[in-house]
Structure 1
Amino acid sequence: MRRLPPSEARGLRTGARHSLAEVYRPADLVVLGFGVMIGAGIFSIAGRQAATTAGPGVILSFMIAGIACLLACLCYAELASTMPASGSAYTFTYVIFGEVWAWIIGWALILELQFAAAVVARAWAAITVGAVTAFGVRVPNPELVGDVLVLVILLTLTGIVALGARVGLRALWIMVSAKLVAVGAVIVVGLTQVDVANIGEFYVPPRSLPTPPATVLEIVVGESQAFGWFGIFAAASAIAFAYIGFDVVATAAEETVNASEAVPRGMIRSLVLTTVIYLAVALVMVGMVSYTRISVEAPLSSAFRTAGVDWMVHVIDVGAVLGLTTVILVLIVGQTRVLFSMARDGLIPRGLASVSRRYHTPTRVTLLIGFVAILLAEFVPVLTMQEFVVIGALFAFLFVSAGVIVMRRRMPGLERGFRVPLSPVLPALSLVATLWLMVNLRVQTWAWFVLWMAFGLLVYLVYGRRHSVLARPRDPVEPSRGRHRR
C-alpha cells in the first residue's frame, strides 16, 4: 500500500535519462484528442445503433454517452493538472491509493490500449481493402492482403512514434485535418438530404429480443430488450466506445508546455468538440433514411447511395482510412507513455524507461509495443474482443473519479491547475455513470477481464513488488541536465 509522493509523480527522481521532451502545446492536445476519438466509427456507429437498438433516439444516446464521458473527463482534468505525468490514471492511482492499486490500473490500461491498437489495425486493413475495391481495383486475396496491410501500418506508425513526438505530431496534424474535411463533407452534404419525418419523435416502443440475456443488466432484468428507453441507454454504452480515448491525452502531460493548464483545456475541448461532431453525424444518419431501412454493414454509405449521392461513398472510405490511421498512432503514443512510467517506477524492467538521446523518446518500449500489437492483430481474433478495450478504460475511469474525492480530503493543499466544479457531487455522478456503462457489457467480457486482472496481480507479486523503486534504496541520481526542449 506504499504511495508515491506527489512531488515525485513526474519521475524526476530518476534523473534526466528518464525525462521526456516538451513538444505539445494546447492546440496539439486538441488534435491528439481528435486523432484518437474520431475514427471510422463516426461513419457507422450511429446507423448501427439506430437500426438495432435505439432508433432515432440514438441522438439522445450520443448525448448521454457524451455527458457520462465528460464527467470522467473533468475528473481526469483535475488530476492531470495536479500530477502532469506520462502515466495518467496509473500515476494518479499510485499517489492517491497506493502501489498495488496503481499496478492494477496500469494493467487495465495495458489491456485497453494494447488491444485497441490491434483491434483498430485489423479494422483499418479491412476498411482499406474495401475502399480500394470500391474504386474498382480487384484485390485477388483480400485476407492475405489484409494481413500484409496490418503489418505495414503497425510497422510504419511504430516507426513514426519511435522517431520522436514531433515527427508523429506533424503527421497527426496532416491526417486529422484531412479526415475533418471528410467528416465536414458528410455533415454538409448529408444535411441537404435530411427528411425530418425520418427522425419522428425519437422514441420507438420497446420490444423483447429472442436472444438470451448477455450483459450484466440484461441478466438482472431477465430478458434482452431493444428500443424504448432501455435501448437508448443501452446504445449509449456502445457509443461510449467512440468517445473513449480522451484519457490518452492525459498521457502526453509530461511532454506538454505549461501542462497544468494546457492538458485540462485540451482534454475538455477535444471531447466537447468531438461530441458535437458525433451528434451532427448522428442527426444526418437518422435524418437521411428511416431507421428501419438502415444497412447495418455500411449505414452511412448506403444512406448516401439511397439518396443518389454515390460519390460521397468514396469520401467516407477515405475518411475512414485516415480516421483509423490517426487512432492507431495516438494509441501507440498513449501505450508507450503508460509503460514508460511503469518502467520508470520499477514495476516492469527499468530498461524500458530509457530515453533515446538522439530522438528523445522511449524507443525501446515503443518497439516492444509495436511488436506485441503485430502479434495480437495477426494471430488473435481481436475484432471479437472490442469490449476488452471498453472495460479496461471504464475501470480506470472509476479510480480517477474516486481519486478526485479522496485527493480533495487527503491532499487539500496540492496546487491544482483545474478543479472539478461541484465536487464531490460531479465525481460521484461520474462513478455512477461509469458503473452504468459497465453493467451494459457482456458477462463473458467481465469473466475474461477478471482473469486478466488476476494474472496481472500475480505478475506484480512475482516481479513488480520486489523491483519497485519505492521498495529499495534509490539509485544515485544522474547529474541534472534539465528537461530536453526542442
Structure 2
Amino acid sequence: MLKKESLDNYIDADSRLIKSMSAWDLVALGIGAVIGTGIFILPGTVAATKSGPAIILSFVVAAIVCGLAAMCYAEFSSALPIAGSAYSYGNVVYGQFIGWILGWALVLEYMLSVAAVSTGWAAYFNSLISGFGIHMPTALSGAFDPAHGTYINLVAVLIVLFVAWLLSNGMKTSTRVQNIMVAVKIVIILIFVLVGLFYVKPANWHPFFPYKGGVLAGASAVFFAFLGFDVVAASAAEVKNPKRNMPIGIIGTLIVASILYIAVSVVLTGLVSYKRLNVADPVAFALQQVGQNWGAALVSIGALAGMFTMMLAMIYSSSRLVYSIGRDGLLPKWLGNVNKKSGNPTASLTTVTVLIAIMAGLVPLEQLTNLVNIGTLIAFTFVSFGVIPLRRRKDINHTDGFRVPWYPVLPIISGLACMLLLFRLPLETWVASLIWFAFGMLIYFSYGIRHSKLVNK
C-alpha cells in the first residue's frame, strides 16, 4: 500500500500514447472544461443573493485561491509528464493506496460531471428545437421515472456517444473541434461584454458592498466555477514539450477564465440592479432589460457550445484516468491497453462512455452533483501538500521545469485553503462520498492490491 511507483516506468508505459497537443490545445481544453453554462448564470445569481456588485471581487478572490492549486498542478505536470493526473502523482509521491484514493475521487468527479452536463445540454437543445415546433416525446426526455412518464433521456445519451466517437478518432480531430467550439464560446462572451458596455449605468454598482461579508461568501460560492483546469494535467503524456507547455496550459486556463468571469460580472451588474438578477438566465434577462432581445438566442448557443466542450474535456480526461489505473493493474489490465493505430486507450474510452451514457440517460443526478466538488477538493489538497515530498525526491530532477514560488509556504496555504472549502460542504455530501469511498476500498482490497503491477514486481 505504501510502495511508490517509479517515474521511468510510467514514462515508458505512456510512450504508446501519441504526443500531439500544443500549449494552445491545452488552454482550449482547460477553458472547455472550466467555462460552461455557469458563466451565464453564476455572476447574476450570486450577486443577487450573496455579494451584490462586489461579485467582481469575489471572482478575484476565488481565482487567487484556485491559482494556488493551479501552480501546484503546474509543478507536478512539469516534473511528471505522465497520464492520470492526481492519481499518478499520488502513486509516485505518496504511494499506491493514496494514489488509488485520489483516482477513485477523480473517477467520481469526471463521470458525474459529464452525466450532469449532458442532461443540461439536452434541456437546452430540447428548448431550442421546440422554438421550431419540434418536441421530443415525453418518454424519451428524462431519467427513468415511469411515474412521470419518462424512461430515458435520449438526447443526453446521444450527445455523450457523439463526443466519445469524436475522441475515438484521435486527439488531432477532437482538439480541432474543441478549439473551434471554445472560440465560438469566447466570441459569444466577448459580444455580450462589448455590447453590454454601451448600456452600463455606473449607478447600478452602488452600493458596491450591500451585504456584510459578501465578498468572501460570494468567493466560496463561485470557487467551484473554476474547477476543471485539473483535466489539463490528465493529458501530460500526449503533450509536445510538456515541461514548457503543461504550466502554460494550466495557468493560462485559469488566467483566461478569470478575465472572462470578471468581465461578465462587471458588465452584468452594470446593466441592471443586482437585486433583479436572481433569475434562471441573468445574462439573457439583462440584455432584454436594455432592449437587446437577441440575448436569449445568444446565451443558448453559448451554453450549448460551453457544455459540449466541458463534456469533451471530461470524457477525455476520465478515459485517460481509467487507462492509468488499468495500466497499473488496480483495475482490469485490458483497460490499460492502447490501440496501436490511433494511439488511443480505446478500451477505457469505451468503458467510460457506456457508464456515463447509462447515468446520463437513466439516473436522476440532481442530488449527486455536489460529489463533484468533494472529489476535486480532495485531489487539490493532496496535490498541494504533495509538492513538498516531490521536491525531496532525488530521483526526479525538474530544476528546468515550472516550480511553485515561495516554497513551501504557497503549497501549504493552498492545501489549507482547499481543506477549509472541503469542510464547508454539506453533511449529506460527506455521507454520500463516504459510501463511494467504501465501495472503492472494497474494489482495492478484493482486486486491486492483488493484481497491482507494482506489488507483483
Same fold? TM cut 0.5? yes
Work out whether residues 319 and 349 of structure 2, in 8 Å CA contact, stay in contact via their aligned partners in 1: yes
Q: How do 1:223-234 and structure 2 match up within 5 A?
A: 228-229=212-213, 231-234=214-217
Quick one: percent identity of the two aligned structures? 37
Work out whether residues 235 and 320 of structure 2, in 8 Å CA contact, stay in contact via their aligned partners in 1: yes
> For residues 232 and 130 of structure 1, do their structure 2 counterparts lie closer, same or farther at Cα, with a shift above 3 Å needed?
farther
Number of the residue aligned with 2:425: 441
* Cα shift at 1:143: 6.8
The answer on 1:289 being equivalent to 2:275 is: no
In structure 1, runs of 5+ residues without a counterpart are: 206-227, 474-486
Q: How do 1:63-102 and structure 2 match up within 5 A?
A: 63-102=60-99
Q: Deviations over 1:237-292 (max 9, x none)?
A: 23122211110001111000111111011111111111001100111121111111
Work out whether residues 79 and 396 of structure 2, in 8 Å CA contact, stay in contact via their aligned partners in 1: no
Number of the residue aligned with 1:477: none
Number of the residue aligned with 2:157: 151
Letter in structure 2 aligned against 1:308: G
Q: Deviations over 1:22-51 (max 9, x none)?
A: 010111111111111111111111111112
Distance 1:128 1:143 in 2: 16
Number of the residue aligned with 2:453: 469
When structure 1 is superposed on structure 2, of 67-76 and 44-53 the one drifting more is 44-53
* Cα shift at 1:440: 2.4
Q: Helix, strand or coil for the counterpart of 2:454? A: helix
Q: Helix, strand or coil for the counterpart of 1:114? A: helix
Distance 2:415 2:14 in 1: 37
Distance 1:15 1:418 in 2: 21
Q: How do 1:234-245 and structure 2 match up within 5 A?
A: 234-245=217-228
Match of 1:203 among 206, 209, 218: 209
Distance 1:6 1:360 in 2: 21
When structure 1 is superposed on structure 2, of 450-459 and 64-73 the one drifting more is 450-459
When structure 1 is superposed on structure 2, of 41-50 and 101-110 the one drifting more is 41-50
In structure 2, runs of 5+ residues without a counterpart are: 143-152
Number of the residue aligned with 2:149: none
Distance 1:289 1:136 in 2: 31
Q: Deviations over 1:280-325 (max 9, x none)?
A: 0111121111111114211111111111100122111101101100
Number of the residue aligned with 1:50: 47
Match of 1:388 among 365, 371, 376: 371
> For residues 302 and 467 of structure 1, do their structure 2 counterparts lie closer, same or farther at Cα, with a shift above 3 Å needed?
same
Q: Helix, strand or coil for the counterpart of 2:397? A: coil
Distance 2:133 2:14 in 1: 54
The answer on 1:271 being equivalent to 2:251 is: no
* Cα shift at 1:130: 2.4
Letter in structure 1 aligned against 2:40: F
Number of the residue aligned with 1:409: 392
Work out whether residues 28 and 253 of structure 2, in 8 Å CA contact, stay in contact via their aligned partners in 1: yes
Distance 2:416 2:104 in 1: 23
Letter in structure 2 aligned against 1:254: A
Distance 2:64 2:390 in 1: 23
Aligned-CA RMSD value = 1.6
Number of the residue aligned with 1:119: 116
Distance 1:192 1:432 in 2: 42
Match of 2:127 among 113, 130, 133: 130
Work out whether residues 70 and 229 of structure 2, in 8 Å CA contact, stay in contact via their aligned partners in 1: yes
Letter in structure 2 aligned against 1:137: G
The answer on 1:327 being equivalent to 2:310 is: yes
Distance 1:15 1:181 in 2: 36
Work out whether residues 85 and 91 of structure 1, in 8 Å CA contact, stay in contact via their aligned partners in 2: yes
Work out whether residues 122 and 383 of structure 1, in 8 Å CA contact, stay in contact via their aligned partners in 2: no
Letter in structure 1 aligned against 2:74: A
Work out whether residues 9 and 85 of structure 1, in 8 Å CA contact, stay in contact via their aligned partners in 2: yes
Distance 1:243 1:143 in 2: 35
Match of 2:341 among 358, 363, 381: 358
Count of aligned pairs = 445
Distance 1:290 1:440 in 2: 29
The answer on 1:192 being equivalent to 2:198 is: yes
Distance 1:163 1:364 in 2: 14
Number of the residue aligned with 1:456: 440
Number of the residue aligned with 1:139: 135
Distance 1:315 1:293 in 2: 20
Q: Deviations over 1:69-110 (max 9, x none)?
A: 110000000011110111111111111110000000000000
Q: Deviations over 1:152-190 (max 9, x none)?
A: 101100111122111111111111111111111111111
Number of the residue aligned with 2:184: 178
